[in-house]
Amino acid sequence: MAVTLESSHRYGRLSVFRVHGSPRDVGEQLGERFTKEAHRAVEIFKRELTWEPGGTMEGAKRYARKVLPRIETWYPDFLDEMRGYSKGSGVAFDVLAASWSGYSPSLGRKGCTDLAVGPEHTAGGSVLVAHNEDYSPPFEGNVVPVHVAVDGKPAFFAMSYGGLFPTIGFNDAGISLTGNAVSHNDSRVGIPKMFPPRRVLEARTLVEALEASMPEGRGSSFNNIVCSREGELYSMEGSATTFDAVYGEDGWLVHTNHYLSPKMWKFETNLHTKFCSIMRYNRARRLLKPFLGRVTPETIMAIQRDHVGEPDSICRHENPANGEADKTKTLFGSVINLTTGEVWVSGSTPCSTEYRTYRLGG
Ligand SMILES: [Zn+2]
């Protein structure tokens, strides 16, 4: 199969922290390496708590104690990894769990832009999966590239919050995980949305990955985009209690932060907060369509730099009109080539920083 190997020669190499071992060992090494990021995430979480009426760290710890048994049942390995991370970073386990339990689910007007393009539409016959990570500006630099190989599981590359919680990634079994925040009105006590993405990256098959993306007993959910190197593209639009599997039946898909499936419309918390999402969705589709059949990583990078609707554009910049809880910017842009095992990641906003590349098997 023809591939786009030539693309990688134009880019500098992305510096990636590589780790392998048991879940506990992996967690401890990640915690030691990303101690600064781990403590910074706690400080950001404390700040976020002040945005929630009645939000306190004690309340978050209580909430975490309710959901931890559910995580333990569904995904005990990762709790071991978190315990290792706690030891390595020096962040107390109950604080770490509280920070990532979903106690403070406020999305505000934040949200990302994703594309996926199958082999029938790319110049080199590769599967390309792309994501702009749009989130709170204080997280700039706190989402780091890691290559993780837990004993007995597929190795994966991810951009992870504090090195621990992936927001995008792909593994050497040819499965990718990207996705978008959605705002559903059926949140409940259950498996927090930050955990399924990590488990998708341990999947060996597409069916395992789809199942891992939507565990029963969720408390909240992202729209988890799960793709395979065969060009199977799924946008798993989840809420807490149900989901719809939106399939890229034309060989490509775009997703932002509102539900596309009519089945999911009744779970949308407030469509009136989704104008930015609607604009980015339509804009990305319009920019991509003329290139179908000849899409390259550079085609997608150009879309990720787009400024129509600035500052609430695909390449997002802080909007001074937004309150602190709604402030957002693109922390990085990324393009995964699932066929060649390469990824390109920009240092910050795609318009202002270079993309660097990494090969999972290299
Ligand atoms: Zn920009």
Q: What is the DSSP string of 201-224?
A: TT-SSHHHHHHHHS-TTBS--EEE
Q: Express each pLDDT in 49-80 by its tens digit.
A: 988 888 899 999 999 999 999 999 999 999 99
Alpha carbon distance 140, 348 (integer Å)? 7
Q: Express each pLDDT in 84-121 by its tens digit.
A: 999 999 999 999 999 999 886 566 677 899 999 999 99
For 205-209, what is the mean pLDDT?
Answer: 98
Ligand 1: centre distance to CA 62 (Å): 40
Ligand 1: centre distance to CA 140 (Å): 14
Ligand 1: centre distance to CA 134 (Å): 11
> What is the reported pLDDT for 20?
98
Ligand 1: centre distance to CA 343 (Å): 20
User: Does residue 7 have a pLDDT over 60?
Assistant: no
| pTM for the predicted model, two decimal places | 0.96
254 and 284 Cβ atoms separated by less than 8 Å: yes
Hey, is 308 helix, strand or coil?
A: coil
Ligand 1: centre distance to CA 47 (Å): 26
For 195-202, what is the mean pLDDT?
Answer: 98
Ligand 1: centre distance to CA 248 (Å): 28
Band of the pLDDT at 362, cuts 50, 70, 90? low
* Topology annotation, domain 106-359: Penicillin V Acylase; Chain A (3.60.60)
Which amino acid makes up residue 122? T
Mean pLDDT of the chain: 94
Alpha carbon distance 347, 258 (integer Å)? 27
Alpha carbon distance 218, 177 (integer Å)? 18
Ligand 1: centre distance to CA 186 (Å): 34
Within the chain, which residue ranges are assigned CATH 3.60.60.10? 106-359
